[in-house]
Amino acid sequence: MAHYSFSAAAGPLPASVAATVAEACRDWQGSGSVLGLSFVSERFKALQAATETALRQCLGIPKDFHILFLSGGASTQFAAVPLNLMAGRIATYIDAGHWSRRARDEATRYGTVRTLPLAALASVRSESVNDNAYWHVTSNETANGLQLTEFPCLPAPLVADMTSDFLTRPLPFDRLALAYAGTQKSIGVPGLTVIIIRDDLLGRAAPATPRVLDYTVQAASHSRVNTPPVFAIFVLHAMLDWIATQGGIAAMAAIAQRRSAAVYQAVDGNPHLRASVPPAFRSQINPCFQLADPRKTPHFLAAALAAGLHDLHGHPDVGGIRISLYNGLSEAAFTALTEFLVAYTAPTTMNGTNTP
């Protein structure tokens, strides 16, 4: 039977990318395994440069932005962002859920932080934000299934954690000053964090900032102050190639739009299921919903497993069901999922644990 994972933690690679990567692990271009590629070699430097060029083309990243390829995951950026940008001023964090709070809580270790609810974004007035070093948003709340459909236009630099929706939609670089994303969900494997930073934000780091986290130092050293995650950069390059062959970022956005619309339609049309996020904020990448009777959640998950659909449980803080529609998800997995959602019937018994 087919085995499809909808895990929120890590996304699948498209089959052709997985094949390219597997082959390169054996041998890459006749020069041995990519797993042994030295970060100081000319071959790696050429790979890194090609990856940067492909990313710039994919998103239309302007010349006055640097791209950094660092290790440490998005959680490391929760510290790096305030260390690099606060410069003794306050920072405002928009609270949309679990990951916004994780980012905010880390920032409070380095300076004064103000928290605003997501709903406040719509009514921000410039006079209330002039004192801000930056604003921080989580563009897609992986745990809660909430997505910021539009990036706000703010008078202070806007910073976005895009770990779960990077390269699933175009980005407005006239509004964004810094975007960061771990690559393990929609664009590759764990170990790499991409940071896109406008040049005028460089040069502000607090004196105690570790050199490996200092954007200015890393930008000057082409992200090679220490060993960058070579293999994850290789996979990102392969993913960017694949995205280009699919039709670029517009195609990724269209796929996310189509798939999420079908999922929400199936959920809204099934009396046993309840979407838990208001339509204006529904994520195109991590749709979340509940069972109409939450006691039936174990039954839903067992029935899904029996149909080959894995990792559909909600985030531990949220519960319910969560579907992850990352770029690499196959059409076969998506079709099996939507067919299951349309057909799902909860049992009439109350314990909800009987096997399907």
The amino acid present at 218, given as its one-letter code, is: Q
State which of positions 165-224 bind ligand PMP (CB under 6 A): 182
Residue 198 backbone dihedrals phi, psi, to 5 degrees: -70, 140
Q: Which residues share a beta bridge with 313?
A: 321
Q: Which residue is nearest to ligand PMP (CB)?
A: 73
Measured between alpha carbons, how far is residue 249 from residues 53, 163, 187 in Å?
15, 16, 12
Helix (H, G, I), strand (E, B) or coil at 19: helix
Q: Does 163 bind ligand PMP (CB under 6 A)?
A: yes
Q: Exposed, middle or buried by CB within 10 Å (0-12, 13-18, 19+), for 46?
A: exposed
| Piece of 71-79, 116-124, 247-255, 289-297 that binds ligand PMP (CB under 6 A) | 71-79
Interface with ligand PMP (CB under 6 A), residue from 20, 92, 164, 327: 164
DSSP string, 188-223: S-TT-EEEEEEGGGTT---TT--GGG-HHHHHHTTT
**How far apart are CB 148 and ligand PMP at their closest, in Å?**
11
**How far apart are CB 279 and ligand PMP at their closest, in Å?**
21
Interface with ligand PMP (CB under 6 A), residue from 161, 318, 320, 325: 161
**How far apart are CB 301 and ligand PMP at their closest, in Å?**
20
Residues recognised as catalytic: 99, 161, 185
**How far apart are CB 141 and ligand PMP at their closest, in Å?**
7
Interface with ligand PMP (CB under 6 A), residue from 5, 7, 75, 338: 75
State which of positions 83-142 bind ligand PMP (CB under 6 A): 99, 138, 142
Q: Does 74 bind ligand PMP (CB under 6 A)?
A: yes
Pairing of strands 193-198, 309-310: unpaired
Q: Which is nearer to ligand PMP, 28 or 326 (CB)?
A: 326
CA distance 188 to 52: 15
Q: Does 145 bind ligand PMP (CB under 6 A)?
A: no
Helix (H, G, I), strand (E, B) or coil at 160: strand
Helix (H, G, I), strand (E, B) or coil at 254: helix
Q: Which residue has the tokens 């293999």?
A: 231
**How far apart are CB 344 and ligand PMP at their closest, in Å?**
26
Residues at the site binding ligand PMP, with contacts judged by CB under 6 A: 73-75, 99, 138, 142, 161, 163-164, 182
